Every structure is written in C-alpha cells, then in structure tokens.
Amino acid sequence: MLSLDWIYYAISWILLAWHSAWDAIGVPEAAVLGTNWSWILAIIFLVVTVRVILFPVFVKQIKSQRAMQALQPQVKALQEKHKGDRETLQKEMMELYRKEKANPLMGCLPMFLQIPVFLGLFHVLRRLNPDPAKTNKDIYGWTVDQFNSASDATLFTAPIASKFGSTAAELAQLGANGTVVKIMAGVLVLVMMGTTYLTSRQMILKTGWAEDPQQRMIQRLMLYGIPLSLLVSGAIFPIGVIIYWVTNNLFTLGQQQWVLRKFPPPVTATNKPATTGRNGAQPAKTSGLFGRAKPAAEPAKPAAPKIAGPKPGAKPANPKKGRPAKRQG
C-alpha cells in the first residue's frame, strides 16, 4: 500500500514553519478573542504556499480553457454532423482535441492536485489531542510543545481540531463546548459552500457555457454538485480544514478575477454579448452579484407635430378664401 507519510510530513513542515514565523514576528501565542491567531495564520499561509507552487498549473488551466473555448464552433459543427451517432462524435471530438492539443480535463487539474494537501491537513489535525494520557505527540516532526499548542488552538473558542459531527467524548478531550463548535462549524460550512459555488460561477460567467455536452456536464458538476456535497461532507471536516478550504476559495476568486481582467477570454458565440435586442432595442442590463436583469428602456416615440390653433378672440380662418376663382366656360 502506498504510504502518504511524505504528504503528512510536508504539510506539517509548512504549518510549523509559518507558525514559527508568526511567533517570531510577535503574534501572541495566547488566545485573543478566543482565537490563537498564530495557528490560524499558519493555515491561511499554507494556502498561499500551495497556490504559489501551483501557479504554473493554474496558467496552463487558463490556456486549456481558452483553447477549448476557441474550438467551440468546430465542436458544434461535429455535433450537427454526427447527430444521433454518439460513438463517432466522441471519436471525432477526441481527435480534434488531440490535434489542437486541448485537454478537457485540464480545468479540474488544479483542484485534483490540491486534494493531497487537503487530505494531509485533515489527517494531521485529526491526530491533535491535548489529552495528557496521549503519549504519541511527536507526529511528523512535531515537538511535544508544538503538538500541545496546536491541540489547544481555537477559533473563537472552538478548537481547530473539532468538527460539526464531533462526539461528546471527542469534545470532552478537546475541552470544547458542543454548541459553540456546531455554530462555528456550521457557519464555516455555509461559507465554504458559497465560496465554492462563486469560484465556478465566476469562470462560467466570463467564458460562457460549453457547447460540448461533456464539458457542460463538468461545468454543472463544478457549479452545483460539489457545493451541495459539502453540506454533508462538511460535518466531518475539522474546523482547521474548513478554514483552509474557505481561504483557498477566496484566493481562487481573487486570482481568477485578476487573470480574467488582464487576459480577457476571446469573444465567441457562447460569450459574445448581444448588441441589439428585438426590434433594435438595447439588451437588458444586468447588475448585482447574481446578474439580475434590469428592463431595457423603451425607445422614445417621436412627438406628434403640433398644429397651431386660432388665438382666443380671432375669427376662424375660411378655408375657401384664397382659392383661385373658377374660370367661366
């Protein structure tokens, strides 16, 4: 069986390095507002470290998405050509992707590469236990003092090693209040779901929905499936892991916004904004985070020409007056 100890050692080393850095800067070890900020900041900057390492992969992801977007007209043509013949369609599309060096799965690669980091942090935090009877406190290069300090670390009095689904025995070992843990974990799970949804929605709004059914299915899975799955799986995530996930989502939102603004996607039929609507009217404008449509202003009707009437007290004009006299026959 493949050992994952190297991942646990790597995650532990990064966490301990950042914790030592914040301790050296002067961030207090003791809790302030019920929070051990040196450990919270260590988790946040674990995200920064991983994202800096994976930045080249993120750039490849953007390039692959642009390549897939540029191929949408050809994909649509193949769908029309092989309508009803799914096997031939898939074969032709794979050949097109191979020829143009586009990978439909590249969009998910950064997320897949972060799964080992997520699992490593999950495993390390699950091992934290301040119980004095626990003798194995030198896990993955941790000293006893570091182990005890991380075991006692809290976020607004909720231990970072606790979770929404912690049992009464686990809460007693951590010295935690069950109500506080459930409130903090529940709020963080909702934030995790919301930010996960927004990261996928941000990209789809900028690049448009894919024409390829396989790509569209992946987009829907990313947009709806993963956030909904977190509602259930979030109950088993330690609070420290949820902090990592939320921070990673916020980092992704900022990074995608910067890249999409600096390198806007090419205009295609799937994301090209309409210039005129029906009867030449301007399209409806959108506003707000979720793009609610504002009704477009109707074109102004031309004003009817005004006919000057007689002034008050004036005699009405005789329409027959001024006509040329009839000639005598």
Q: Are 246 and 195 in contact (CB under 8 A)?
A: yes
Distance between CA atoms of 259 and 298, rounded to whole angstroms?
A: 36
Query: What pLDDT, on a 0 to 100 scale, did the predictor assign at position 221?
Result: 87
Beta strands in 248-318 (DSSP E): 285-287, 292-294
Q: Please say whether the beta carbons of 114 and 50 come within 8 A.
A: yes
Cα–Cα nearest to 193, from 244, 121, 252, 246: 246
pLDDT at residue 325, as a whole number: 53
Distance separating alpha carbons of residues 269 and 87, to the nearest angstrom: 26
Task: Name the nearest CA neighbour of 174 among 231, 127, 226, 117.
Answer: 127
Report how far apart, in Å, the C-alpha atoms of 222 and of each of 53, 62, 113, 204, 230 are: 23, 16, 16, 10, 12
Indicate the helix (H) or strand (E) that contains 158: strand 158-159
pLDDT at position 287: 40
Q: Which amino acid is at 255?
A: Q
Whether 13 contacts 48, CB under 8 Å: no
* Domain ranges for the chain: 5-262
323 by DSSP, 3-state: which? coil
> What tokens does 140 get?
């993955």
What burial class does residue 210 get, using C-beta atoms within 10 Å of its C-beta: 0-12 exposed, 13-18 middle, 19+ buried? buried
Contact 102, 74 (CB under 8 A): no
Which of 206, 116, 129 shows the shortest CA–CA distance to 160? 129
User: What pLDDT was estimated at residue 18?
Assistant: 96
How is residue 292 written in tokens? 């609610």
Tens digits of pLDDT across the chain (329 residues): 567 889 999 999 999 999 999 999 999 888 899 999 999 999 999 999 999 998 888 877 777 777 777 887 888 888 888 888 888 888 888 888 888 777 777 767 777 888 889 999 999 998 887 776 666 677 888 988 899 899 999 999 999 999 999 999 989 988 899 999 999 999 999 999 999 999 989 888 877 787 667 778 888 888 899 999 999 899 999 999 999 999 999 999 998 888 778 767 666 555 554 444 444 444 444 443 334 444 445 555 555 555 555 555 555 555 555 455 555 54
Per-residue pLDDT, 259 = 79
**Distance separating alpha carbons of residues 124 and 147, to the nearest angstrom:** 10
Q: How many CA atoms are closer than 13 Å to the CA of 187, on its beta-carbon side?
A: 8
pLDDT score, position 292: 42
